[in-house]
Structure 1
Amino acid sequence: MPIDSHPPAMVRSGSVAVYSPRDEERWVSEPAKNPRRSAFQRDRARVLHSAGLRRLGAKTQVVSPGTDDFVRTRLTHSLEVAQVGRELARYLGCDPDIVDTACLSHDLGHPPFGHHGETILDALCADIGGFEGNAQTLRLVTRIEPKVIAADGRPAGLNLTRASLDALTKYPWTRNEAALGRHGSVVRKFGVYDDDTGVFDFYREGVENGTRCIEAQVMDLADDISYSVHDVEDAIAGGHLHLSEFADERSRGDLFDITRKWYLPNTSDDEMDSALTRLQGAAYWPAETYDGSRRAQATLKHMTSQLIGRFVGAAEAQTREEYGWEPLIRYAASLVVPEQTAVEVAVLKGMATLTVMVAEDRLRLHDIQSAVITELAHWFSESPADLDPMFRADYFDAADDAARLRVIVDQIASLTDHSAWALYHQLKAGAEDRL
C-alpha cells in the first residue's frame, strides 16, 4: 500500500474539514463497510463495545471503586473526557468521532489500583522495557483486544484507522527517547513499547516523533480538565478536601509544593498563588462548607460545569486567535492553551493529589496493593496454565523469557481492582490449603 512520505495536508470543502483516504487506512486492510458510517464512526463503535472499556468500570480513578458510590471510576472518567473532548473538537473543526475514540481509549491500558499499579508493574518490567499505561493502551487496541486477525495470523486488536491511533497517542515516543530527556526534559512517560513499534511506525510514518496531531492534543487537554475538575469534586464530596483549607500561607505552600513536584516543575509560587486566587475569586467558587445537602451538591456541580467551560473556552479562543476560523485537523495546527489556564488546571490537580493520592491512609493501602500484584506475577510465572485462554496462548507462543513476562503483565494489567483482589485471595487460600 503506497504511503506518502509526509504527513497528510488538510483538505477543505467549504467550511467542513475533510480527512484524507490515508487518514482512514487501517494496519490490516478490511473489506468496505456500510457507507452510511464513516471509518471514524466505526472506530468509536469498536472502542465503545470493547471488553477493555467495560473493565474500566471497576478500575481505580483516584479512589478505589466500591468505597463510595459517588466517586468516579476509570470508565466514568473516560466518558466525561470524551464529552469534553468531543465538544472542543467540534468547536475547532476536528472530526468529533476521532477525538471521542481517543478519549474513550486513553485509559484502556491502565492496570488495577490506578497509578500505583503502574508503578508496581513498571518495577516488575524494569529489565524488559518497563510498563506505562499509555504504551499499554496502544498495545491493547493494536494487539490484545480481540477484533481483527491478519491473514498471517497476527492479532491486530481493534484495527483502528491511522488517524484514530495517532489521536490516542499522548506520548508519541519510546521509553529510550523519554529517558534521554527528549520532547521535554521532565517527561518520563512514553507511548509505545519496543515490540509494538511496527504499528507505531505505520501510523506515524512521515511524522517526527514528539509531534502530536491536534486531535491528540485535544484529548490530552480534555483529560487534564476532567481530571482536575472532577477529582476535586470527588475529593470534596468524599470529605477529603475542604476548599477553605487553602486560606493560610502554610497550606497554600503545601499545595504549591505538590503541584510543582507532580505537574509544573518550573512554575513559581507566585504564579500558582495568582491562579488559586483567581479560582477562589470566581462567582461560582463555593463559599460555604460542603455538607452533602442537595443545595451543596448543586453548588458543587455548578462549579465543575463552570470550570470546564472556563478552561475549554480559553483554549478555543486562544487557538482561534492563532489560527483563524478554518477547520483545524491533524498537523495543520496545534492547540494553544493559555499559560494562566494551564496553571489553574494544575493547581486543581494538586488539590486532589495532596488530599487523596498522597494521604496517609492511601499510602498504607499501596503496600497491600503491591503485594497483590507481585504475588499474582509470581503465581502466573509458576503456573502459566492459570492464565486466561487468550493470554495463555500468547505465553506459550512467546519466543523468550522477556516476551513471556510481557504476556503475564498483559494479563495482570487487564484485571480490574476487584478481579485482582479475588485472584489474590484465591491464591492465598490455595497456599493455606497446601499447608
Structure 2
Amino acid sequence: MAVAGAEPRAAWASRAEESRGRLFAEPESDGRSAFRRDADRIIHSSAFRRLAYKTQVFSYHEGDHYRTRLTHTLEVVQVARSLARALGLDEDLAEALALAHDLGHPPFAHAGERVLDACMKAYGGFDHNAQSLRVVTRLESRYPAFDGLNLSWETHEGIVKHNGPVAGPLPHAMAVHAERQDLWLWSWPGAEAQVAAIADDIAYDVHDLDDGLRAGLFTVDEIADLPLVGDIIAEIAVRWPDLDASRFIHEIGRRMITALIEDVVGETRRRLAAAAPGSSDEVRRHEGAVVAFSAPFAEAERAIKAFLFPRMYRHPRVMREMEAAGEVVRALFTRYMADPSALPPEWRAGIEGRAEDGRARRIADFLAGQTDRYALAEYARLFDRAPELR
C-alpha cells in the first residue's frame, strides 16, 4: 500500500484556525499556524534540549550510537508526520505532540520515574505524562507575560490524553491544570494525538530491537520467531544472502517501520470510513480509538513488546545500571528534602516557606528536569563520590 504524498485535509483533521485557543491571548502570526508555533516553541524549549542527555534504555556513556530520549523523540516525530500526511491530518499538530510527549521524563528513563514516584508517594506521586504538561504550562520560563509555553488547547489536550481518556484519580499536574482549563478528559483525543501515540509505539519497538541487537543483548536468530519480524528477516536473507550484520539489522528496522506505518494507515482508513466523523470533535466523541493497528499487527506488536521486556528492559546488564541510577535519584531527593540549601539558588528561592508537599513538588520538578549527567554530577558534589553505573 502506497502512503507517499499528502491527502487533502480530511474532515476529521484538527484545524488551527478553529483552535480553542491559548490560556493567554496572543496576536496571531501572519506566517505560521497556531500548531506550527506550538511545535516551534517546544523545539526551542530548555526541556527539549535536555532530552539529548536523558536515557532511553542505555545511558549516554554506553556509546554514541544508542538512542537517547531526544533521538527517540525525533524518530517519533518522523513516524507521526508520515502518518498524519497519509491520513490528511494536521502535520504540525502531530509533530508538536510527538515533540512534547517525553518532556516530563526524569533522568535514567523509567527507573528514574519509578523511584521519583515512590519518593513522591505521600505528596501526590509523579507521572511523566503529567509532568510533560507541567513543563509546558508552568516550568518553562521564557516569556515575560506568562509561565510555560502557552500552547494551544489541542496541544495540551494531546499531551494529557494521547493514550486515551483519563479517568480515576488524576496525577498531580493534571489535577492542578484541570482547575484552569477543561481538556475534555472524558473523551478520546483528536486524531493527531492518536497518531503521536501510535508513532511512539512504532518508533520504540523498532529502535529498541535495533539497539538490543547492536548491544548484543540478543541475536537476529533469537528474534526470527517473532511475528512480522521473522517474515522480514526471511525476506532479507533471500534477497541479500551475504549481507553484513550491520546492514542486515538496519534493513530489519527499515522494513518494520514501513510495514507498521502502512498497516496503521490501512486500519485507520477503514475505521474512519466506518465512523465517518465530520470533525475533530466527532473523533473525540467516538467510542474508541480511530488510529490503530489491524488485529494481526496488534498481535505482532504485543509479541515484540513481550520479547523486549525480559530480554532488554529487564536484562541483567540493563537492570544493574538502572538500579544504581535509581538510587542516585532517591539519594538526591532525600538530600534536597533534608537540606534545601543543597539546591541551586534559583530552585531554593522561596522553598523555605512552603509546606512539605509544596517543597517536595518543587524538588521533584528540579529532579525531573535533570539530565543523566547532571544528576551524576550532583550526586558526586553532594556525596563526594561517583556512583558506579556499569
- 1:357-411 per-residue CA deviation (whole Å, 9 max, x = no partner) reads 111222222332232112111221233233244433363564x211110110100
Alpha-carbon spacing, 1:171–1:396, altered in 2? closer, same or farther (3 Å): farther
Cα displacement (A) at 1:277:
3.9
- Stretches of structure 2 that go unaligned for 5 or more consecutive residues are 1-7, 284-289
Cα displacement (A) at 1:62:
0.8
SS at match of 1:244: helix
Alpha-carbon spacing, 1:22–1:69, altered in 2? closer, same or farther (3 Å): same
Alpha-carbon spacing, 1:209–1:396, altered in 2? closer, same or farther (3 Å): farther
- 1:166-213 per-residue CA deviation (whole Å, 9 max, x = no partner) reads 2222346668447xxxxxxxxxxx6944323234x33x1xx3525222
- 1:213-262 per-residue CA deviation (whole Å, 9 max, x = no partner) reads 21111111000000100110010011112131257xxxx8xxxxxxxxxx
Whether the aligned pair in 2 keeps the contact of 1:311 and 1:341 (CA below 8 Å) is yes
Whether the aligned pair in 2 keeps the contact of 1:109 and 1:136 (CA below 8 Å) is yes
Q: Which of residues 299, 312, 325 in structure 2 aligns to 1:369?
A: 325
In the other structure, the counterpart of 2:230 is 280
- Stretches of structure 1 that go unaligned for 5 or more consecutive residues are 1-11, 179-189, 253-275
Cα displacement (A) at 1:13:
8.0
The answer to whether structure 1 residue 159 and structure 2 residue 156 are counterparts is: no
In the other structure, the counterpart of 1:122 is 117
Distance in 2 between residues matched to 1:228 and 1:410, nearest whole Å: 29
Aligned length: 368
The answer to whether structure 1 residue 197 and structure 2 residue 178 are counterparts is: yes
Distance in 2 between residues matched to 1:279 and 1:71, nearest whole Å: 20
Q: Which of residues 23, 27, 31 in structure 2 aligns to 1:27?
A: 23
In the other structure, the counterpart of 2:306 is 350
For 1:322, give the aligned amino acid: R
Distance in 1 between residues matched to 2:173 and 2:187, nearest whole Å: 12
In the other structure, the counterpart of 2:206 is 229
**For residues 133-212 of structure 1, what are the structure 2 equivalents within 5 Å?**
133-148=128-143, 150=145, 155-169=146-160, 170-171=162-163, 176-177=168-169, 192-199=173-180, 201-202=181-182, 204=183, 207-212=184-189
The answer to whether structure 1 residue 216 and structure 2 residue 193 are counterparts is: yes
Alpha-carbon spacing, 1:321–1:126, altered in 2? closer, same or farther (3 Å): same
Alpha-carbon spacing, 1:286–1:119, altered in 2? closer, same or farther (3 Å): farther
Q: Which of residues 409, 418, 422 in structure 1 aligns to 2:364?
A: 409
Whether the aligned pair in 1 keeps the contact of 2:328 and 2:375 (CA below 8 Å) is yes
Whether the aligned pair in 1 keeps the contact of 2:84 and 2:94 (CA below 8 Å) is yes
Distance in 2 between residues matched to 1:364 and 1:14, nearest whole Å: 48
Alpha-carbon spacing, 1:18–1:417, altered in 2? closer, same or farther (3 Å): closer
Q: Which moved more, 1:71-80 or 1:339-348?
A: 339-348
- Percent of aligned pairs sharing the same letter: 32
Whether the aligned pair in 2 keeps the contact of 1:284 and 1:303 (CA below 8 Å) is no
Q: TM-score when scaled to structure 1?
A: 0.77
In the other structure, the counterpart of 1:103 is 98
Whether the aligned pair in 2 keeps the contact of 1:227 and 1:349 (CA below 8 Å) is no
The answer to whether structure 1 residue 360 and structure 2 residue 316 are counterparts is: yes
